[in-house]
Amino acid sequence: MHFELTDEEKLIRDTARRLAAERLAPLAPALDRGEGREAFLSNLRFLAENGFMALNIRAAYGGAEAGAVAFALAIEELGYACTATAVTASVTNMVGEVIQAIGSEDQKRAYLPRLADGTYAAGAFCLTESGAGSDPSAMTTRARREGDEWILDGTKLYITSAEYAGLFVVWAVTDPEAPKGRGISCFLVERDAPGLVIGKAEQKMGQTGSATNAVHFDGCRVPLRALMGRENEGFRVAVGELAGGRIGVAALSLGIARAAMDAAKTYVRERRQFGSRIADFQGIQWMIADREVDLEAARLLILQAAHLKDQGLPFAKEASMAKLFASEAAHRCTDTALQLHGGAGYIKDYPVERYARDARITRIYEGTSEIQRLIIARETLRQGG
């Protein structure tokens, strides 16, 4: 397979790299300490102004129309500099893609430009519940039609960006009698909808600069036009859109992994023990070589999935392979980078302990590694491959 990037893709990657280095990277340590919420919001505005919140959205709706490969390259670069900002951008892009995929023309015209230009600081993707994580079809959030409104009741858990999102894509059960996974619909809920309440901010191990909250729908009233796509067919949409989101998480994982290994390579070239640079020890070189293979394999899997998506071909299995491999590789790379720093790796003056904490969740959200394996196995057996 040939992966020559187009001039536009190279431009987007290089622009993302430059802007992220100048603007995001210097703020990342403070965001990790839980400081600089205003700076974080200004990061999001800055990304919107530069087209990074709607990379795969058509220009007619204010997007960059750059494609899935460009999206992956950009998220990798943002993730290299600041994971908290990158995950927010990745989810916001995903929310836009759901609207673009199934929204009516009116919904696309009303909401996509506001996601793209930063009118909404971010978008939120509300699927998970306390009893419905790996198995989202077990959700109990309910939507009932009453007159010319839908009334939503239930609680979504661990929702990225909920605190500052202007728009929420929400899945809820509309036909409780339907077989599991069938009677679920998708809604667009604006932040000021009556009955929408943002719950407590979760205290996280990593990616601490990004917000993660419960979202309560307490008799939340939205107009009938808030339904997106066909009634009772929303779950299929969620499953499809998660595949696209997995390319984002894979790219984010690669960004963190690369940042960790770049820090490690610099360190082993400078650090001396036993009268030599530690980079001269073969034991160290083998660690670097194994992780270099990880980075390259992750990059190729991500490009493959994104390329298939851009071609309009099935890409769910490839997206799961990219997400599984890249997130597990990020775990190996950040752990190796920390090890190569010795005691310094455990100290907050160096960035590698932050990378290790930031990488950990990539094996869990948007489907755990175990769930990716289930998808890959199911597709492989179905294809007879």
Ligand X SMILES: Cc1cc2nc3c(=O)[nH]c(=O)nc-3n(C[C@H](O)[C@H](O)[C@H](O)COP(=O)(O)OP(=O)(O)OC[C@H]3O[C@@H](n4cnc5c(N)ncnc54)[C@H](O)[C@@H]3O)c2cc1C
Site residues for ligand X per CB under 6 A: 91, 125-128, 133-134, 158-160, 204, 212, 361, 364-368, 370-371, 374
Helix (H) or strand (E) holding 145: strand 142-146
Q: Which is nearer to ligand X, 207 or 304 (CB)?
A: 207
| Closest distance to ligand X from the beta carbon of 67 (Å) | 23
Quickly tell me which residue has 């990020």 as its tokens. 330
Q: How far is CA 77 from CA 14, 16, 62, 360, in A?
A: 8, 6, 22, 18
Work out the burial of residue 286: count CB atoms within 10 Å of its CB; fewer than 13 is exposed, 13-18 middle, 19 or more buried. exposed
Q: Which is nearer to ligand X, 12 or 169 (CB)?
A: 169
d(CA 147, CA 376): 44
| Closest distance to ligand X from the beta carbon of 323 (Å) | 12
Q: Which is nearer to ligand X, 128 or 304 (CB)?
A: 128
With helix as H, strand as E and coil as C, how does 328-384 read? HHHHHHHHHHHHHCHHHHHCCCCCHHHHHHHHHHHHCCCCCHHHHHHHHHHHHHHHC
Q: Which is nearer to ligand X, 203 or 273 (CB)?
A: 203
Residue 153, token pair as written in the block? 């009741």
Residue nearest to ligand X (CB): 133
d(CA 212, CA 348): 23
Helix (H) or strand (E) holding 276: strand 276-277
d(CA 152, CA 189): 10
| Closest distance to ligand X from the beta carbon of 358 (Å) | 10
| Closest distance to ligand X from the beta carbon of 369 (Å) | 7
| Closest distance to ligand X from the beta carbon of 205 (Å) | 9
Q: Which is nearer to ligand X, 94 or 261 (CB)?
A: 94
d(CA 79, CA 333): 14
Which sequence positions are flagged as catalytic? 366
Beta carbons within 10 angstroms of residue 365's beta carbon: 20
| Closest distance to ligand X from the beta carbon of 284 (Å) | 32
Q: How far is CA 25 from CA 17, 29, 34, 54, 356, in A?
A: 10, 8, 15, 21, 16
* Contact between 181 and 212 (Cβ < 8 Å): no
Q: Which is nearer to ligand X, 16 or 249 (CB)?
A: 249
